[in-house]
Structure 1
């Protein structure tokens, strides 16, 4: 399938972002990595991917981001913008499947400067007939390349996983996933409510590591009315985003050693 829309999330939570403040910036997306703002790097990578037809940048104030390294974005005909609303899922749901961002949709974030075209194409090639796919990187894959890197790991039978900040929404049924996501966003600190979203049996299986990530997603998706699956990416760098200064330092080292893009 060709003609994918990439939604590039470039907003931030209310108040000062700690990483942006550390680098003297107002907006996290404008923090430079290897001499170029993260937003500019990710946008260029998306435009270079053969399967991506258009890019929609979503932020609270998109226009204020198009300065310095990102000034070129204003004149790029394949890029449009949309305003973020009260939550990530709600913001995506407001444009996904519309003229602004027609299906199928690939989501990623501006703080993923290590994103490469082959990661994007692997996500799109791997979704198959699923409505929703989540990009993940296995602990063994990531730590083999970067043994000192600290990530949040989700532990399931056979492997622990970290997110790759890549989500593929192939069909209109993916809107059901966005609705569920928006509810989880509101309840993410309330464990009992989270369990109710997916059912106690699935929660027990996940907590006791008696089920694989793919199995858990398949059951959760079926319960909510869509087909869901993880896509295990073989790229260690897909699991590294830039949330804190130590992440930034690691990414700078990776760029310095590999000289990508």
Structure 2
């Protein structure tokens, strides 16, 4: 029997006010409306209806804003949903959660602004990540631009193309803690990619700077450095890397949702 997946949905707020939340007049970004309802409802429903997911943990500073909003109050009473308090950073919050011992592996982590998350993405990711200690979902630029040529993302260049993150991560076993601990150490430098890469050793750093590594090979190499299996999941759907981060993203997402019917 397949072990149910624990889904962690990041729904916290940053110290500085989020522009989408401010524009919508809501307390925190996950409550900002997208396609007619708070953005968090979209990925939460996608996770809850997926047969591989056993429970959804919403990691946030407080459940109070969700309980107070009639459109999200259902999350606070759903039998498969529990709220946990986040700390100063994602990695430190995740490690604190794992220390308690009541969060079973495998774990799938995603974000409240992943409005377009759907069953097809979850099917592909969970099937390809299964058996790995860690896995990360990415979208290659050609996949996105073929469908949405006007969409603007942040791209990382490797020998096998230009890649953008899809905000879906897999922690398949307790061995993933070493990577999460490293993530915690460099979390404050998350906008400085070379510092993060350099933490994984000179071969990875030089390979990235000189574009010698494929992304798939680079992730596997990092895994071997930590004695675990690390895997890239190259997402087939362009929508996997479109999150509700800016007003332009929301316009595009709402157009996609409307087309889905």
Tell me if TM exceeds 0.5.
Answer: yes
Larger CA deviation: 59-68 vs 7-16: 59-68
Give the structure 1 partner of residue 47 of structure 2: 46
- Give, in angstroms, the shift of residue 71 of structure 1: 1.1
Matched residue SS, 1:107? strand
- Give, in angstroms, the shift of residue 168 of structure 1: 0.8
Once the two structures are superposed, residues 95-134 of structure 1 have per-residue CA deviations (whole angstroms, 9 ceiling, x without a partner) of: 1375542111000000011000121121110014320000
Output the CA distance in 1 between the equivalents of 2:114 and 2:78. 20
Output the CA distance in 1 between the equivalents of 2:239 and 2:233. 15
Unmatched runs of 5 consecutive residues or more in structure 1: none
Once the two structures are superposed, residues 56-105 of structure 1 have per-residue CA deviations (whole angstroms, 9 ceiling, x without a partner) of: 00001123223221111122111011100110011111113755421110
Give the structure 1 partner of residue 112 of structure 2: 110
Output the CA distance in 2 between the equivalents of 1:243 and 1:198. 28
Shift of the 131–58 alpha-carbon distance from structure 1 to 2, 3 Å rule, reads same
**Would the aligned equivalents of 1:56 and 1:101 in 2 still touch at CA under 8 Å?**
no
Unmatched runs of 5 consecutive residues or more in structure 2: none
Output the CA distance in 2 between the equivalents of 1:63 and 1:173. 34
Output the CA distance in 1 between the equivalents of 2:215 and 2:12. 29
**Would the aligned equivalents of 2:145 and 2:151 in 1 still touch at CA under 8 Å?**
yes
Output the CA distance in 2 between the equivalents of 1:169 and 1:76. 24
Larger CA deviation: 220-229 vs 186-195: 186-195
Return the TM-score normalized by structure 1.
Answer: 0.94
Shift of the 193–213 alpha-carbon distance from structure 1 to 2, 3 Å rule, reads closer
- Give, in angstroms, the shift of residue 26 of structure 1: 1.7
Output the CA distance in 2 between the equivalents of 1:226 and 1:126. 16
Give the structure 2 partner of residue 5 of structure 1: 6
Match of 1:256 among 245, 255, 258: 258
Give the structure 2 partner of residue 14 of structure 1: 15
Give the structure 2 partner of residue 63 of structure 1: 64
How many residue pairs get aligned? The number is 259
Once the two structures are superposed, residues 233-259 of structure 1 have per-residue CA deviations (whole angstroms, 9 ceiling, x without a partner) of: 101111100111111111111112222
**Would the aligned equivalents of 2:63 and 2:76 in 1 still touch at CA under 8 Å?**
no
Matched residue SS, 1:133? strand
Output the CA distance in 2 between the equivalents of 1:146 and 1:128. 29
Map 1:149-228 to 2 at 5 A: 149-188=151-190, 193-228=195-230
Output the CA distance in 2 between the equivalents of 1:42 and 1:50. 14
**Would the aligned equivalents of 1:221 and 1:228 in 2 still touch at CA under 8 Å?**
yes
**Would the aligned equivalents of 1:2 and 1:52 in 2 still touch at CA under 8 Å?**
no
Shift of the 217–191 alpha-carbon distance from structure 1 to 2, 3 Å rule, reads closer
Say whether residues 1:34 and 2:35 are aligned partners: yes
Give the structure 1 partner of residue 231 of structure 2: 229
- Give, in angstroms, the shift of residue 53 of structure 1: 0.3
Shift of the 112–189 alpha-carbon distance from structure 1 to 2, 3 Å rule, reads closer
Output the CA distance in 2 between the equivalents of 1:53 and 1:5. 6
Return the TM-score normalized by structure 2.
Answer: 0.94
